[in-house]
Structure 1
Amino acid sequence: SPHKAHLAAVNVSWCSTWEIVQTVVNGTLFYTYSVCSIETTEQDNWLRTTFIQRRPGTSRVSVELSFVVRDCNTFGGASVACKETFNLFISEADADVGTNFRKGQFRKVATIAPDEVTQGRVLKVNTETKTVGPLSKKGFYLGFQDVGACVALLSVRVYYKTCPSTVQSLAVFPETVADALREVEGACIENAVSQATPRIYCTAEGKWVVPMVQCQCLAGYEATGDSCQACKPGYFKPSVSNDLCQVCPDNTKPSASGASECLCEEGFFRAPSDPPTSASPPSAPRDLTSMTLPGEGKLQLFWSPPLVTGGRSDLMYSVVCKLCDEASCIPCGEKIRFEPGPTNLQDPTVVVSDLDSHLNYTFTVEAQSGVSQFSAERPTATITTALDYTDPPKVTEIHLADRSPTSLSLSWTPTRRPPAHINHRYELMYRRKDDSTEGDVTTYKVLILDKSFVQIDGLLPATTYTFRVHALGPEGNPGSYSLMHVCISVIYTAYFLIMTFSPDQHKPLKMYIDPHTYEDPNIAIHKFVTEIDPSVIGKQKVIGVGEFGEVFRGVMKIPGRGEVPVAIKTLKPGYSEKQRQDFLSEATIMGQFSHPNIIHLEGVITKFKHAMIVTEYMENGALDTHLKGRDGEIPPYQLVGMLRGIAAGMKYLSDMNYVHRDLAARNVLVNGNLECKVSDFGLSRVLEDDAEGTYTTRGGKIPIRWTAPEAIAYRKFTSASDVWSFGIVMWEVMAFGERPYWDMSNHEVMKAINENFRLPAPMDCPSTIYQLMLQCWLHERLKRPRFLDIVNFLDKLLKSPESLKTIADFDPRVSIRLPSTSGGDGTMFRSVAEWLESIKMSQYKESFARAGITTMEQVLALRHEDIRNIGVRLPGHMKRIAYSILGLKDETSSLSVFAV
C-alpha cells in the first residue's frame, strides 16, 4: 500500500467563534474545534493551523478532514441563517508568520459538504480527503472558514505519498515522492549490469509501474530473489543473462564457485565456436520406426532424438539404405529417393520413395554434431522393414466384360497385386446420369465386393450410368481418389458408350456422399476419416458439454510438428450402438470437407472403449459468445471480414450440394487470429435427388429463429434456406451476439415473419451490410443471393472501406428491445441496477453507485457528458445507455415490437 507520512503535527489556532469542545463519538472522548453561530447571517468564522513545513520535492499534499455537521432542520425557526457546509483554504509562506493572520493571503481549495448530517444525539462523522497543490514555498497554513454552519472539526491529517525504495528487475530504486507520474532512475545491484540506466515509473498513488531496462547477472552469477549469487561448485553460467546456472556437462571437470565455464576432461574437447555446454558427441537415435504412406512404394521413417546430445544445438541426422541377406548387404542404389534428403536432416523423420514390393530394406540412422568427427564411435539405430500393403492400390481401368438390355458385367485391374495374406475389397458406386439436371446428382448405390469383377442387374434400358471404383484396405480405408469415371448407356440395340479418363486427366467431382447410404456405417467412417492412435492424444481441460458427452481441450502428437492443440469430443459411457453411430456420423460428414473456413477434422478414435472425435482447437470458442461484451471494441471492417470467412465456408458447402440446416453464430468457431470456421454438422443433411434440390426432415427439431419460412412451413431445406440463416448470423455479428428477436417466443417469431416483419438494423451497422441482410431475408427463396454472390459482394466492401461508413437507420426501442419505462409488472424500474440489467449493462452498477446515481429520476436527468464522467468509455456502451434513457423518456416506448 502507498506510504503516507505526516508533514507536521496539526495543532490548530483559532479566531472568531471557533471553540475547543469535548465531544463523545462512539463512546470515545474527543477534543474538537466547534462553531455553531446560526442565529445571524453573514457569519465569517476562521480557524487556522500552525505552520506546516513542506518536504522538498513535494508539490502536492492530501488533506483528510474528519468532522460533524448538524442538520439545520433540527433548529426549527432559528435555522434561517443556518448552513451545512464550510470552506477549506490554504496560504503558502517561506517562514512561520506566527499569529499574523490576514484572510487575503488565503486561497480557497474546496467547499466541504457532509455525506451525512447529525439530527439527534448520535453523531454522524464524515471523512473527506482533498488534494492541495501545486505547492512551491517552504510551508503552508490551512484555514477553515465557517459561514453559518453548526460544525465540529474532529481531526485534520495532512500527508503525502511516496513510492518506497525497492529492488525490481535486479535494479535498486530510491524512495520517491509520489507527486505525479514520474520517471525514476536506478542502479543495478551488485554483480549485475545493464546496457542502459534502469528506469521505472512512480505513480501519483505511490506505486511502482513499468520497469524498463532490465539488469542481468554477470557470467558466473544467477538471480536469487533480489540478488545475484555466485554459481555453486559444479555449476556454471557462460554469459551475462538472467539464466540460471547449469550443471557442468558430462565429461568436464568440476567447476569452482562463480564459474563461467567447465573445462573438458582429458580426451574431450570443444571447438572455439562451440557453446560451453557442449562436451561430447551425441548418442544413437532412439525408437526408429516406419510407416507405409499412401501411393506406390513410399514409407516414412520416424525416430526420437538421442538421450545424450552433448548440449549442442547443431544436431543432424543421416540415413543409409541397404538390401541385406544372410551373407552380405549391398547399397539400395540411386533409384531410391529420400525427401528432403539422406543427409543433414534437422527433423527426426524422412520419406523414402520408389521402393520395390516385398523386399526387405535395412535403414541405418546416425546422429551427428560438430564434434562427431573427433569420435571413433558411430552410434546408430537400425531397422529392417518392407512396404506394408494395407494401403490399397489404385484402380486405373474399368472394363465392360458383358452386357444385356438390363444388366452388364464390369471388371477392373489394380495397379499392383496385394500380398497373399491380404485380400483387398472394392467399393463400387453407381448412379443414373440425368443429362437434364444441372450439376451432378449425389445419390449413389454402393456395393462392397471381394473380387475385381461384378454383374449388375436391374438397370433401366436406354439410360446412362456413372460408375466409380475404389480399392479398400483390410479395415475399410479407401484407396486413392484418382479413380475411373465410366459412363455406360444400356440400349436394346446393344450400343455401348464407354468413356475412360486417365488419372491425370480426371477432375475430382465436388460431391458430398451421405454416410446414411452405406449399409454398414463403419465402412463410411473408415472411408472418409483417419483413425488416430489413442496414445498420441492427451486431454487437458473440459471446455464444454456436447449432445453425446464432454468436450476437452487437449494436444495431439504429430510427427514433425510436435504437440498440436486440438478439441476432443467424447462419447459418454453407457451409450447404445445407435448413439455411437450417430456420434461418429458427424465425423464422417466433416471428413469430406477441406476448406480454411470449415472446421478441420484431425480424425477419430473408434478402436478404443471410449470413441472420440478430434478436431482443430479454436481458441476463442463460439462466435456469439466471443462477441458478447465486445460492443465497440471490434470495428465494422473487421466484423465484415469475419462474415466474409463464414460466407466462403458456406459457398464451399453449397458447391458440394450440401445444406447445413443449423447455421448460427453459436455454430461458428473463432480461432486466435479471429478467423471464423463453420462447425456443428449434427443437423446437416445432403440434398436429395429432386427437381428443387430440397431435403424433407424426418421430424427433427428446427431452430426457428435462424430458419427460412419455407423450411419452417414445409420442412424442406435448400442452400437458399442456408442463405436466410446466414442473414441472421450477419445480424448476430453486427449486434455483438444479441439474441435474434430478443425475448419473443418461437410462435411470435413465426407470426412476425409471416407478417413481413424483419429484424431492424443493429446499432452502428453499415447500411450496405443491413441491405444485404434484407436480401437474404426475401420471402421468395429464388430471389435471395447465392453464397457466391455474397462472397463477391463482401469482397468489394472490404476493398472499399469507405462503403462501410454510411450507417443504417437505428430505432433504439426496437433494436435494443427496451422494456421501456417499467419493470416486468408495468411499474417504473425499482432500481438503477434493475434497469442496467434489463439493457445488459450490469457491469456499470458500481460506477453508477459511486457517482451517486441511485434513483431512476436521476437516470432520466443524465446527459451524454454525465454518462462519460460516470466511467462509461466504450462508444457502443455509451450509445446503448443513452438510447435506453431516450426510450425511458418516451411515453410510447412501452409499445411492443409489433406496435413499433
Structure 2
Amino acid sequence: MDFLTGLRPLLFTYVLINGILITLQTKEEVLLDMRATGGELGWLTWPLDQGDKLGWEVVQRTLNGSQFYTYSVCNVGEREQDNWLRTTFIQRHPSASRVFVEIQFIVRDCNSFDGASLTCKETFNLFTSESDADVGTTFRKSQFRKVATIAPDEITRRNEVRINTETRVVENLSRKGFYLAFQDIGACVALLSARVYYKTCPATVKSLASFPETVAGGENQALREVSGVCVENAVSEELPRIYCTVDGEWVVQVGQCQCKPGYEEVQDACQECRPGFFKAEASNHQCAPCPAHTQRLSTGALVCPCMDGFYRAPTDPPSGPCTGIPSAPRDLVATTTQLSAGKILLSWTPPEDTGGRTDITYSVECLRCDGTACQPCGEKIRYDPGSVGLTDTKVSVSELEAHLNYTFTVEAHSGVSMFVNQASPRANRPPSTSALTTYLHYTDPPKIMAIRLVERTPTSLSLSWDVSPQPRAQNRAVRYEITYRKNDETLDGTTYIVHRFEKNSVQINDLTPGTVYLFRVQALGTDGSAGGSILEEHFETSSEGHLAPNNTAIIFISAIGAAAMLFIVVVILFLRRRKRNSHTRQGPEDTYFSSSDQLKPLKTYVDPHTYEDPNVAVLKFATEIHPNHITKQKVIGVGEFGEVYRGILKVPGRKEVTVAIKTLKPGYTEKQRQDFLSEASIMGQFSHQNIIHLEGVVTKSVKHAMIVTEYMENGALDRYLRDHDGEFSSFQLVGMMRGIAAGMKYLSDMSYVHRDLAARNVLVNNTLECKVSDFGLSRVLEDDPEGTYTTSGGKIPIRWTAPEAIAYRKFTSASDVWSFGIVMWEVMAFGERPYWDMSNHEVMKAINEAFRLPAPMDCPSAVYQLMLQCWLQDRSKRPRFGDIVSLLDKLLRSPDSLKTIADFDPRVSIRLPSTSGSDGSPFRSVSEWLESIKMSQYSENFTCAGIVTMDQVLQMKNEDIKNIGVRLPGHLKRIAYSILGLKDQTSTLSVFAV
C-alpha cells in the first residue's frame, strides 16, 4: 500500500483537473456518478472479512472544501485474489435497455514490484447483475454476468501517474434496476471515477414538429421511431415522425408541419403575419406583402380584400392582385365586303385601359331600326365567329336586310366585369364599361338575273343582262361591274379586266378569235362598293381567220413531263429497295449483335454536375410528373433522403403501373435537393431493358420532391439470392449475369462508369430480369459504411473495387469489369458476402498478394474462368463488357458447357477454419458450428434428431442430412461440404498427432 499512499496527492490533483474539464452532453442522462456524489458512497466490498488480507478500500480526501472518494486494492503478492466491489442499487429508466459505464482508473506496472511479477495482474473485470429491488448487503457471485475485462492503455510506473479512461456498454437490461461490480484478481489498481449513463435524443423542434426526449434504442432496435406534434398554430397532413439512433441523434424526419393560414415560421414557431402581409394557405412559405389594389389589414390576415372599384375574378388566386374593369373599345368602324351582299365587317381598337388584366373579351349587340322604332336583331343575323366571347377585335355580320338602319354596340369584358354587371343594371352602367355605337344604313343593290350573248365576232362580244326590279323608294341609277378573262388561264396567271357601266349592256372588243372567256357581272351599292350578287357565264368568240392552237405541241410537251415524272419514281423505288437489301444481306451473327441491347447508343452520357444550374439538367433529362398522378401505398424502405414507397402511377391516356417512389424529406437544403435529383438526371439519360427505368420526377410540388422509377418486385439481388439459396440452376444464374452484363455494356458504350456495381445495386423483377440501379455513389456508401474504405479522396466500396481504383482512384469501364466479376461471384454464391469476414485492410492486402476469391459451390468452370479474367491485375487485359455478353450468350446457347464444375474447397469457400471456431479452438457445440456456416436455422432440426455433439455430426451422410429436414439443394450442399471439410481436417490432425 506504500505505492498508493505516496500516489494519492498527485492522484487527487488529476481528479480535480478532470472534474473541471468534463462536461456532459445533453443527450446523456446520468444514473450514477461516483465523483459527483460528494459523500459516503456506501459501496459493498466482498469478501467481508479477509483477516490480514486487504480487499478494496475506500479512501477519502478533502480538496478546496470538497470531498473525493476513491477505491483501491493492491494485493499483488498474494495468490488467487478474488476481491469484489459492488455499487449501490442503480435505478434503470424504463426505456433504457442499454447503458454506458465510463471508468477512470490507474493500474501500476507489475514489474515495479520485486518478487511479485508471477502473481501480479494488470487487469480487472466488470460485472453486472439485474434485480427488481435493492437486495441490500446480500451478495452472490453467481448472480453477476461478466461485461468486460478492463485493461489499461497506459501503465503507471514509479513517479509517473497514468490515468486511463474506458467506456463499456451494458446491453439488454430489462428489470427495474441493476448493480455493477468490479472484480480484482491480483492487480494494483485505483478506481478514480465510475459514471453510468444512458443516451437520449433530446427534446427538439424540427420543421415545426415537437418531438419529446426519447431514450436511444439498443442493439435490437437501432432506430426507434418517435411521433411528434405540431407546434402551436401549425398543422400537418400526416403525423410527424422521426427516428432516434443508438447514439442519441435524430435522423430522417417524415411528415412536415406547416404554419396555418395567417401565420409564418419564425424561429421554430408560427407567428401571425405582420400588418400589410398575408398568407392564404398552410405552407412553409413566409407571409407575402399584400398585392396591388388591396386593403392592408391588421396582423394574421388570410387574404387582402380588394379596394373599392377593384375586383378578383373567380379564377384569380386569393393571393393575386385586384384588377379593374376595362374601358370602352375604341375606333369602331363598319366595312362592307366586296363580293357578298347583306354582309359587313365590324372592327375596333382594344380599350386604352385593360384594368390590369389580359383576359379581355368582346361582345356585339345589334339593334335594327325601320325609322319609327328599334328592336333587337335577334337570330335574324349571323356573326362569324360569334357575338360573345370574342378575343379578336373584329367580327363579320351577315344576313342583313335592305333598307334598314342597324345599330351595333361593342362592349369589352374581363374576368371581373361580371361583378360590375351584377351590381349595375344596363341603364346605369359605370363609365368604365361604356360602349361605342355606330350606325349603318344598308341598301341592297339589284340582283343580276341572267346574262345573254347579243352578238359575237372574232374579236368582240356584245352582252346584256337582266336585273331584279328595284323598289320605288330605291329608284336610282345603278352602276354595274363586269370582269372577264380567258377561261383556260388560271386566276394566279392572269388578272381580270374590269369595266364599270351605268347600263345593263356592253360590247367587249380586242378579244382573241376562237377563244372562250369567263364573264362576271355584279351590281354596285350606292357607295360604289361591290355588295350585290354575282353571276358568271362563258362565251366564245368566232374563229374566222384564226388558226386553232397547235395540239401536237401540247401533246409533245405533256409527254416529256410524264416521262420525267416516271423516271423520278423509278429512281426512288430503286434506292428504297437497295436500302432494304443492305439489311437482308446481314448474316445471322449480324442480326444477333444488332439487337436492341447490343447496338451502340447514339448519344454519350452527360454529367449533370457540369450544368451551372442543376435544375436545368433535371428538366432536360427527366419528365415532370404531376403529383396528382401518383398514389403512395406502402413504405418499403428508408433512405438517406427520406422514405421509399411502393405506389401507383396513373397518367391520363396511359395504363396504370406500379412504381417505386423515393421521397425527399421535408426541411431539406438546396444542396440536398440537388444531390437527390442528380440521380434522376443520370437515370433519365438511359433507356435499356437492363437499366432501371426512370418514370419521372416531381419537382414543382410545394411539399417535397420525388423520384419515380419502375417497381422491381423482388428487390435487391443479393438479398433475393440469400432468401432463395440453392433454388436456382446454374443456367438461371448465368441468365441473370447476362442481363447485368448487357446493362453494363450499354452504360460503357455511353462512356458512363458506374463505380459501385454490386449485387446490392442490382434489382430483380418477378420474371427474374436483373436491372442495374443506384447511380448515386456517395449515397450508397453512406448507407453501407462497413463496405467502404476512407481515403483522402472520399469513400469507395473496397470489396467490389479494382486495385487501381483503390490505389489511384482511377475509375474506368475496366474497373467496372472487375466489379462485375465480384457480382458474378455473389450470384453463384447466392448472395454470400465477398471475402466473408475479412477486414477491408485484409482484403486489400490479399488482392495485392494475388489472392482471388475461390470458386463458389457448384460454380461452372467456364463461369469461374470468366471471373478470373475480370480480376486480372492489368486492367488492359480484362475483357470488355461486349466480350462478356458474347461469352455468356454462348454458354446459354450451349447448356452442356455449364456441366463442368470448378474445383471447390469448402474450408476456403465457406470461410471456415473447418474444425474450429473463430479463435482456432474446436467447435464446442453443434449450434456454434451451424452458426459459423450461416445455417443456424437448422439447430432445432439437429437437436430433435438427437445430433448434439460434433462427433455425431462427423458420422452424418447426405441421406442423414435430408432426413432431419434440410431440403433446399444449396443448404444441403453447404452442410455436406462443411462436414467434408471437418472430416478432412480431422484426419490431418490425427496424422500430426501420430
| Interval of TM-score (by shorter of Structure 1 and Structure 2) | 0.3 to 0.5
Q: Which TM-score applies when normalising by structure 2? A: 0.38
Normalised to the residue count of structure 1, the TM-score between the two structures is 0.41
Which of structures 1 and 2 has the bigger CA Rg? Answer: 2
